Chain A
Amino acid sequence: MATVVTDVVSTSRAVVRGASAAKAGTSARWAWLWSLGQAIGPILLALLVSAALLLALGKNPLTFYRDIVSQGLFNKGGIQDTAIRMAPLLLMASGLIVAFRANIWNIGGDGQFLLAAALVAGAGPPLIGALPNALAFVILCVTAVVVGGGWTVVPAYLKARYGLNEIITSLMMTFVGVNFANLLIKGPFRSTTTQVPQTDVIPFKELLPRIPGTRIHVGLVLALIAVFAVHYVMTRTAFGLKLRVLGANPRAAAHAGLSIPRLTIVGFMLSGAFMGLAAAVEVLGVWGYVRADWNPNFGLPLFALVFLARLNALAVIPLVGFYAVISMGGHFAARQAALPDDFMLMIVGLILLFMTLTEYLAGRSERGGYLSAGLKKALGKGGGDE
């Protein structure tokens, strides 16, 4: 009798599971296609509109795009430049994903990046001169992580304790950070050997080691490891799930007994730490110094990319790769076509515009958009439908 009952229970459990698997299978397949379309659609549309603009300017769009691809992807030196550019972008994207998943709007990535860059460039030359390179690199990376993460403490605390909007506070901290970085470079870190205000230069052969047979520095490896680590943490660990719950529904997080202030501060600092690490990798791997008023503005285009990837760390890799091709090849193509570099920014702007349209359509058809419900509510658009 007892075994019969157990049998029945386990059979029906199997049925529940079977149904679950089948249903999840079909819907997952469609969801996957939709996500892909959502990721690629805006890019294709942006490229089409840019082509029309190029035509209007009397340039041949096909030549322009061919220049981008041949330089950024198929030229031997070009593809290495592309890969090198991917390193800081991937690290910053990881930082954005951690924050956005938790509904933390870390807009201040550029400030965290530049301040860490200034400190690494200032402390780098003497440290590398005095210590074994490996040890110096570790110390500098840790410094960058601490500086990047530390620069988020103010907005993080204000959000956690008083609920102040971190979009505003982290943006304000960026202004302070960018100018403070300049102050350091023009003041204590200023090199005595150059006319232009900049830090001392780390000699080329003392920069981060290269991947054998290439010019690509090991920062790219570090960045890829970071992306996979973020993906693992966000999808497979309790900590990642807590951040996701906080991001998807902060009230449910409070209801479930999660410590929202602690999660907010930790998530925010983690995000800033990635920005700092990105700076260390870029300075130690590529430049060896930082000039005053240098600001690569990596942050803005990355916002578009991480949302195109729907905050999936793995999906960010091809998108960042694509963007690196565009930005490295685009530099070349723009010069060939006698256009300013800003044309590439315009393409990014168009991608953002078409993302907005896609998001609107996704909302209309009740499919998942780029934003989670929690993020949408935070932005105050369409939250009422939920």
Chain B
Amino acid sequence: MTNGTPTHIETMTSDLLQADGVRAGATAGPIGPAVEVREVSKAFPGVVANDRVSLAFHHGEVHCVLGENGAGKSTLMNILSGMYKPDSGAVMVEGREVTIDSPRRAIELGIGTVYQHPTLIPVFTVLENLMLGEGVGVRLDVEGGLRALDRFAKTLGLEVDPHAPASRLALGQQQQIEIIKALWSGSKVLILDEPTSMLTPQGIEELEKVISQLRDEGLAVIFITHKLHEALDLGDTVSILRGGRVVGSWGPDVVKTKSRSEMQALIVGAMFGEGAGSLEDVAEVRDGVTGRARRRGLPNEPVLELVKVSVEALRGEVGVHEVDLTLRRGEILGVAGVDGNGQRELAEVIAGQRSMVGGDIRLCGESIARAGVGRRQSLGLRYVTDDRIGEGTVGTLSVGLNLVLKRIGEEPFWRGGRIREEAIDQAACDLVEGFDIRTPGTETRCGTLSGGNLQKVVLARELSFDPKVVVYNKPTYGLDLKTTLAVRDRIRDLAESAGVAALLISTDLEEILDLSDRIAVLFRGRITGIVDNAPGVERHVGELMLGGDRGD
């Protein structure tokens, strides 16, 4: 091993130690921002992702960049972390104009990034993962690495086992390691991309502590999120991106002096413009989220029953183990859980896309364990997949054909095996209208639609032609707020007015709390508990998401 490690550590530690000095400097007189973007623009075919964005990120400050999906947050982050080059504009680090042409360059400039999804190598230990990027030496300087890790852990108030394989850590712990990794070579700026999306409520609390610790150490933290209350909770400075532009930015002078509700009004106004009033019920906008009361008087008529359903775990999955669930007519049963705990396996086994290794599934009392995907579909069991591009639609086919994709060869759209275009066109136009699918026409290739409209195509297909039970897998994942609301309304309406039972699998706890009558929690492929939804239930659900009293 080269002698790189100790030097790095010295730099880092001294930075951490100097933090007070920096802050003192900040209070004493003006000091330049740690990172600044000036008039940065970046366009992709068809969209301007960043349009003359100017923002400054200061030492000792958590700067929340808030915006909906597609607002340009990720593009901005990718520019700072060296993944994209801006088309125009300047990036300044410590007052000097720089060109960040690679992720390596970003790290050299002291900009560390924690991505939304884990990037640790599962079979490596924590220490090995941390020391991956170091030098070109032959031998790892384990001693030096351990010392450095110890210092980081102390500063951040974390407990870390350096020799545990990364795969054995919970997601929250993995994220802490990602943060240390981003800081490992002396970063002074930390970018966090939607860091709470994979965490339980408890994990989020710990993350918030770590972030405040880092701020106190003098780091510039850039916190990217689409959740308003997170920005309100954490941000010293809050900036709003909308359609690639900065539509609002408030420094500590404003954020600290205004009340929470005043801030919220400011932000909502900037994010959604006029018409924001109608959005006040939104979970994202509400101050914190809690469960709603379970509806009374639901008929006690089971429509979907899972009896000890087990699914083999394929590579990298957890499988499903002896899951018992009963879904009643008109009920919305939420399935909460951190991503990767068997959600897709559960959805697919119900839809018939995976085979069971044990157990039984009954639809309206009849076993459908031996029925194929098509048969279940025609019996009224529908599956809204979480992968709308990869399996939900065929991009090269028209919107019209995608709307009847699960009825190929069936009357009235086909007769004697021959297509009847008028019939398909008729039905497609009705669905396009009924589900407000924004498409130039029914002949348009499905692949050209936006994510939100693709999801509407999928919903239109699954929720039409007499559904009885619908399995929703992350139905609003990656959608903008207005579409998210429309989708949630539809799920609720269908359950309440048409009696269509819904199994709502989601990693967004707010969504589950907002819609469900009961909440089942999935952990490592098992149901750790089923609770009635009620205000204040989130804490308990959060514990169940970590395995509950079964422990682990």
- Residues of A close to B387: CB separation below 8 A: 251
State whether the Cβ of A373 lies closer than 8 Å to any Cβ in chain B. yes
State whether the Cβ of B444 lies closer than 8 Å to any Cβ in chain A. yes
Cβ B408 vs Cβ A245 within 8 A: yes
- Residues of B close to A17: CB separation below 8 A: 425, 429, 441-442
Across the A-B interface, the 9 shortest Cβ-Cβ residue pairs: A20-B441, A257-B374, A257-B373, A238-B409, A251-B391, A23-B440, A24-B443, A255-B391, A249-B394
Cβ B408 vs Cβ A238 within 8 A: yes
Cβ A248 vs Cβ B394 within 8 A: yes
Q: Interface-forming stretch among A8-16, A40-48, A300-308, A333-341?
A: A8-16
Q: Interface-forming stretch among B358-366, B413-421, B509-517?
A: B413-421
State whether the Cβ of B4 lies closer than 8 Å to any Cβ in chain A. no
Tell which of B377, B395, B405 touches A373, judged by Cβ atoms closer than 8 Å. Answer: B395
Report the separation of the CA atoms of residues A255 and B462 in the bound assembly, to the nearest whole angstrom. Answer: 12
Tell which of B353, B396, B444 touches A255, judged by Cβ atoms closer than 8 Å. Answer: B353
Instruction: Tell me the B residues contacting A by CB distance below 8 Å.
Output: 45, 351-353, 372-377, 383, 385, 387, 389-397, 401, 405-406, 408-409, 414, 417-419, 425, 429-430, 432-433, 440-444, 447
A30 to chain B, nearest CB (A): 13
Cβ A241 vs Cβ B419 within 8 A: yes
State whether the Cβ of A236 lies closer than 8 Å to any Cβ in chain B. yes
Report the separation of the CA atoms of residues A138 and B350 in the bound assembly, to the nearest whole angstrom. Answer: 49
Report the separation of the CA atoms of residues A197 and B443 in the bound assembly, to the nearest whole angstrom. Answer: 58
Cβ B394 vs Cβ A16 within 8 A: no
State whether the Cβ of A242 lies closer than 8 Å to any Cβ in chain B. yes
Tell which of A23, A236, A242 touches B444, judged by Cβ atoms closer than 8 Å. Answer: A23
How would you classify the secondary structure of chain B's contact residues: helix, strand, loop or mixed? mixed
Number of cross-chain contacts by CB at 8 Å = 109
Instruction: Tell me the A residues contacting B by CB distance below 8 Å.
Output: 9, 12-13, 16-17, 19-24, 236-239, 241-242, 244-245, 248-249, 251-252, 254-259, 366, 372-373, 386
Cβ B419 vs Cβ A256 within 8 A: no
Cβ B408 vs Cβ A252 within 8 A: no
Cβ A248 vs Cβ B396 within 8 A: yes
B318 to chain A, nearest CB (A): 21
Report the separation of the CA atoms of residues A38 and B45 in the bound assembly, to the nearest whole angstrom. Answer: 21
Tell which of A24, A254, A386 touches B373, judged by Cβ atoms closer than 8 Å. Answer: A254
Most buried by A among B351, B414, B432, B441: B441
The answer to whether residues A255 and B419 also contact, given A16-B429, A20-B444, A244-B397 and a CB cut-off of 8 A, is no
A26 to chain B, nearest CB (A): 10
Cβ B395 vs Cβ A16 within 8 A: no
Cβ A254 vs Cβ B374 within 8 A: no
Tell which of A13, A252, A258 touches B392, judged by Cβ atoms closer than 8 Å. Answer: A252
- Residues of B close to A386: CB separation below 8 A: 389, 395, 447
Cβ A242 vs Cβ B409 within 8 A: yes
Report the separation of the CA atoms of residues A61 and B183 in the bound assembly, to the nearest whole angstrom. Answer: 66
Tell which of B374, B385, B405, B429 touches A245, judged by Cβ atoms closer than 8 Å. Answer: B405
- Residues of B close to A19: CB separation below 8 A: 440-441
Can you sample 19 A-B contacts with CB below 8 Å?
A: A16-B442, A17-B425, A17-B442, A20-B441, A24-B440, A24-B441, A239-B409, A241-B419, A242-B408, A248-B396, A249-B396, A251-B390, A252-B394, A255-B351, A255-B373, A255-B385, A256-B406, A257-B377, A257-B406
